[in-house]
Amino acid sequence: MFYINARAIIERTFNGRKEVIIQWRNKHGEGCYEFPSERIEAFESFYDALRREVKEETGLDLVHATGQANRTQAEGGDWLVENFKPFSVYQTLAGPVDSLGAHFICHATGELLTQGDDSTNIQWISLDELKALLATPKQFSGIDKPAALLYLQESHP
């Protein structure tokens, strides 16, 4: 089984400091914090999946995501292709699940849920709190950790 995932790094500025949303999820018998995400459905675009998952998992409405999408209909064919630029792309090379996915930096509005679709303890945290969480072994998703480190490097040197 091979999964393709859309993952949201939802950010905001609150009281002069940048924050992101994390959530707690139990997967494969182990729990950890992660960014809101889920696999995309057959023939669903990454942006449509982001919109759906952000709503299901956080209660928020997606208003912007990094990158620009360009949809093209192939000449004389049935293919509809979406080309886009995410914040980062990952591929698992070992582990319990074979997956490929993209992280997008997102902005959203609405009232944040405390519990969502298969997730709990949904919360805004500062980038300093994110940095501390990443330094604690096995507390943050191994799939999201490289993107979180890249995000911190680019947003909070």
Cα 84 from Cα 103, distance rounded (Å): 12
Cα 125 from Cα 18, distance rounded (Å): 9
60 Cβ contact partners less than 8 Å away, ≥ 6 residues apart: 10, 54, 108, 109, 110, 111, 112
Assigned token pair, 125: 């945290």
pLDDT at 35: 97
The low-confidence residues of the chain, meaning pLDDT below 70, are 27-29, 68-69, 75-76, 156-157
Q: Which residue has the tokens 């950790």?
A: 145
pLDDT at 28: 63
89 Cβ contact partners less than 8 Å away, ≥ 6 residues apart: 100, 101, 102, 103
pLDDT at 157: 56
Assigned token pair, 91: 């591929």
pLDDT at 37: 92
Assigned token pair, 155: 């947003």
pLDDT at 95: 82
pLDDT at 68: 66
Cα 101 from Cα 9, distance rounded (Å): 13
